[in-house]
Amino acid sequence: MKMEGIPFGITDWSALTPERKSGETGWAEWRTQQFGAVRVRMLEYSPDYRADHWCTKGHILSCVAGELTTELEDGRRFVLKPGMSYQVADGAEPHRSETAVGARLFVVD
């Protein structure tokens, strides 16, 4: 990822209108900022959210609140709690997320 042409700025995430997306169960709310090729999101997952697809997009993801379980297509599972993060490259291990209790995430991709 090359970050160019992005002047200094501040984002008030609470001022952005969320886009709600249904999961296999539950919902995700995305608040998104686009800076050239760089997408930055604040995500909120409802309790009992489970993604409805395997994702192959690369991300740097930080758990801000709650708890997130990320499953890789090969069956491995990882639990993130506040203060933890993961990173995965475009086209690397397909992954999907779920949470029993809900989660708030900060994502750069």
List Cα–Cα distances, 72 to 2, 44, 89, 98, in angstroms: 26, 20, 13, 12
Q: pLDDT tens string for the chain (109 positions)?
A: 677 888 899 999 999 999 999 999 999 999 999 998 899 999 999 999 999 999 999 999 999 999 999 999 999 999 999 999 999 999 999 999 999 999 999 999 9
Does some domain include residue 45?
yes
Whole-prediction pTM: 0.92
Does some domain include residue 52?
yes
Does some domain include residue 83?
yes
| Residue ranges making up the domain that contains 46 | 38-108
**Is 105 within 8 Å of 65 (Cβ atoms)?**
no
Would you state the pLDDT for residue 1? 67
Does some domain include residue 26?
no
When divided into structural domains, the chain yields a total of: 1
- Supply the CATH number for residue 104's domain: 2.60.120.10
